[in-house]
């Protein structure tokens, strides 16, 4: 109970921190933040009834003497903007040196962006002066688009940018989450339907562990369904207080789901096939800290992942992700340590079917450990590379390597458990009695082994 109270107290602090960050995540252009880039889908690729476009609406009271140059372009045409000096430095604005020393532009162009109007097909330039008009830039091709602005008179300005996709309001970098979440929900539903069929067929011999797995299937299916509903709501409506609450709830459920996975794995590695009061005590004593850290870090990863566009996630997100992956690796390693002694005990008790299942489970735990390491390193590398050049190439799929892979891996692992412990005529062999070996403390077992060696030597 103390661990749960601590977790929820820390969640409250994290939520306040997250809200302050996500509320500041506005697509605003002003005299301080003059550049803004984002991915956007074309109507032909994503579908939908709206016309995809970039809308720039001026919001700050306008100085009649002010003049703003706005440059909108697809990042692939960045080479058509600016000129390079002999030392490799890139010049984007026409100033005195660019006009008279380097001859990159004409003297009457001083103060304006330098770009090749003949070869830059997606570049749109517009001067906004005394009575500003809103700008609409239509999107015909999916891509990573940027908006550059600057004031020719060095006066303050501000504009709100709306990246309107054809399918709705969900950011382009988050849009692939919607079909994937729906697909995983369908996959869980299919597995659950098959599981219930076999459960009804062999209902007279169902064992407790199969009831636990049924709970996990229902819980995971509900989690994915809620995630789909939240994403669909964000897509159809603008951001509201309900959206923030929904994202918080989904993040808590997501982290709880993954923590329960590791709890189940640890219980399996100890050899338990039914509940015992010793399980809770042992979990809290030996693994309470890594489980609590895992819960908080996974909550952070999920909440940031679905609240902020993935192309804007930086090293702070990577830090939470590394903590989550590290704590999961600790738990996986500890479970792998327990498996050999449990397998030996099952071999001695001649639990053949259970021994085979546990061997497969140990291999899958080792593979999960490898996959966690690989995806964790890849995600951290993506977080470290936050420049526009890299974001323009990975904005469509970066979200999957940040946290989407966790849902896919969870589905695979849970489906494997469903296959190994599926209801069958051999149900009773999956929950044998008399396996008292896991009740021993591993340290006590090591001491007993050393004592036995001393006896043999004498």
Tokens standing for residue 60: 């700050």
The DSSP call for residue 172 is: T
Backbone angles phi and psi of 84, in degrees to 5: -105, 135
Q: Which of 244, 247, 195 is nearest to 226 (CA)?
A: 247
Sign of torsion, CA 177 367 418 194? positive
Tokens standing for residue 335: 């479970």
Q: What domains sit in the chain, N to C, each tagged with a CATH number? A: 31-81+116-164 (2.60.120), 177-456 (1.20.1070)
| Contact between residue 202 and residue 423 where contact means Cβ atoms under 8 Å apart | yes
Give 215's contacts (C-beta < 8 A, 6+ positions apart).
Answer: none
Q: Distance between CA atoms of 138 and 35, rounded to whole angstroms?
A: 19
Edge-to-edge order in the sheet of strand 135-138: 28-30, 158-164, 53-58, 135-138
| pLDDT in the model for residue 88 | 77
* Total length of the chain: 458
Tokens standing for residue 35: 């550049």
Tokens standing for residue 26: 């506005």
> HSE of 227 in the Cβ direction (CA atoms, 13 Å)?
32
Q: Distance between CA atoms of 138 and 52, rounded to whole angstroms?
A: 6
Q: Distance between CA atoms of 128 and 311, rounded to whole angstroms?
A: 29
Q: Distance between CA atoms of 315 and 397, rounded to whole angstroms?
A: 18
Q: Which of 340, 400, 399, 401 is nearest to 365 (CA)?
A: 340
Q: Distance between CA atoms of 301 and 32, rounded to whole angstroms?
A: 29
The DSSP call for residue 111 is: T
- Give me the helix-helix angle, 405-420 and 241-270, nearest 10°: 40
| Contact between residue 72 and residue 146 where contact means Cβ atoms under 8 Å apart | yes
- pLDDT tens, N- to C-terminus, the chain (458 residues): 444 454 544 544 444 444 433 333 347 788 888 888 999 999 988 888 889 999 998 887 676 778 888 999 999 888 888 888 878 788 888 888 888 888 888 888 888 888 876 666 778 888 887 667 888 999 989 999 999 998 888 888 888 899 999 998 888 888 998 889 999 999 999 999 999 999 999 988 888 888 889 999 999 999 999 999 988 888 887 666 777 888 899 999 999 999 999 999 998 888 877 767 778 888 888 888 999 999 999 998 888 888 777 777 777 788 898 999 999 999 999 999 999 988 888 888 888 888 899 999 999 999 999 999 999 888 888 887 767 888 888 888 888 888 889 999 999 999 999 999 999 888 888 876 544 444 444 444 455 455 556 555 55
Q: Distance between CA atoms of 222 and 214, rounded to whole angstroms?
A: 12
Q: Distance between CA atoms of 427 and 273, rounded to whole angstroms?
A: 12
| pLDDT in the model for residue 22 | 38
Bridge partner list, 81: 115
For the whole model, what pTM was predicted? 0.80
| Contact between residue 166 and residue 388 where contact means Cβ atoms under 8 Å apart | no
| pLDDT in the model for residue 256 | 94
| pLDDT in the model for residue 436 | 43
Is 74 in a helix, a strand, or coil? strand
The DSSP secondary structure of 377-433, one letter per residue, reads: HHHHHHHH--SHHHHHHHTTTHHIIIIIHHHHHHHHHHHHHHHHT---TTGGGGS-S
| Contact between residue 145 and residue 37 where contact means Cβ atoms under 8 Å apart | yes
Q: Which of 182, 172, 173, 167 is nearest to 229 (CA)?
A: 182
Q: Distance between CA atoms of 364 and 376, rounded to whole angstroms?
A: 18
Find how far residue 8's CA is from the centre of its chain. Answer: 21
Q: Distance between CA atoms of 421 and 418, rounded to whole angstroms?
A: 5
Other beta carbons within 10 angstroms of residue 364's beta carbon come to: 16
């Amino acid at each position: 109970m103390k661990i749960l109270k601590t977790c929820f107290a820390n969640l409250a602090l994290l939520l306040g921190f997250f809200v302050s960050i996500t509320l500041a995540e506005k697509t605003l252009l002003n005299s301080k933040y003059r550049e803004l880039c984002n991915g956007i889908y074309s109507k032909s690729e994503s579908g939908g009834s709206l016309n995809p476009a970039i809308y720039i609406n001026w919001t700050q009271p306008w100085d009649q003497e002010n003049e703003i140059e706005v440059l909108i372009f697809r990042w692939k045409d960045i080479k058509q903007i600016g000129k390079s000096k002999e030392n490799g430095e890139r010049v984007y604005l026409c100033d005195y040196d660019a006009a008279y020393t380097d001859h990159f532009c004409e003297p009457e162009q001083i103060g304006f962006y330098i770009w090749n109007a003949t070869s830059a097909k997606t570049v749109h330039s517009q001067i906004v002066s005394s009575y500003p008009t809103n700008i609409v830039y239509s999107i015909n091709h999916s891509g990573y688009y940027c908006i550059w602005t600057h004031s020719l008179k060095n006066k303050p300005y501000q504009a709100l940018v709306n990246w309107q996709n054809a399918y709705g309001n969900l950011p382009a970098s988050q849009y692939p989450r919607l079909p994937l979440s729906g697909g995983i929900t369908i996959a869980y539903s299919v597995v659950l339907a098959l599981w219930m069929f076999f459960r009804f067929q062999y209902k007279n011999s169902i064992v407790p562990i199969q009831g636990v797995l049924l709970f996990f299937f229902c819980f995971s299916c509900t989690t994915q369904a809620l995630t789909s509903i939240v994403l669909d709501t964000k897509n159809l409506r603008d951001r509201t207080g309900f959206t923030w609450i929904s994202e918080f709830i989904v993040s808590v459920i997501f982290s709880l789901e993954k923590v329960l996975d590791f709890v189940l794995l640890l219980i399996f590695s100890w050899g338990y096939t039914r509940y015992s009061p010793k399980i809770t005590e042992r979990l809290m004593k030996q693994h309470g800290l890594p489980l609590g850290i895992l819960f908080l870090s996974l909550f952070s990863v999920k909440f940031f992942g679905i609240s902020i566009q993935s192309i804007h996630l930086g090293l702070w997100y990577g830090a939470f992700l590394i903590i989550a992956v590290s704590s999961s690796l600790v738990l996986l390693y500890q479970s792998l340590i327990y498996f050999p002694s449990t397998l030996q005990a099952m071999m001695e008790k001649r639990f053949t079917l259970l021994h085979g299942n546990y061997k497969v489970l140990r291999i899958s735990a080792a593979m999960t450990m490898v996959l966690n390491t690989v995806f964790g390193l890849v995600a951290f590398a993506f977080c470290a590379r936050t420049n526009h050049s890299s974001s323009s190439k990975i904005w469509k799929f970066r979200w999957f390597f940040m946290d989407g892979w966790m849902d896919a891996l969870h589905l695979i692992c849970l489906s494997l458990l469903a296959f190994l412990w599926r209801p069958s005529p051999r149900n009773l062999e999956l929950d044998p009695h008399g396996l008292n070996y896991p009740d021993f403390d591993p340290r006590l077992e090591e001491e007993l082994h050393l004592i036995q060696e001393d006896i043999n030597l004498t």
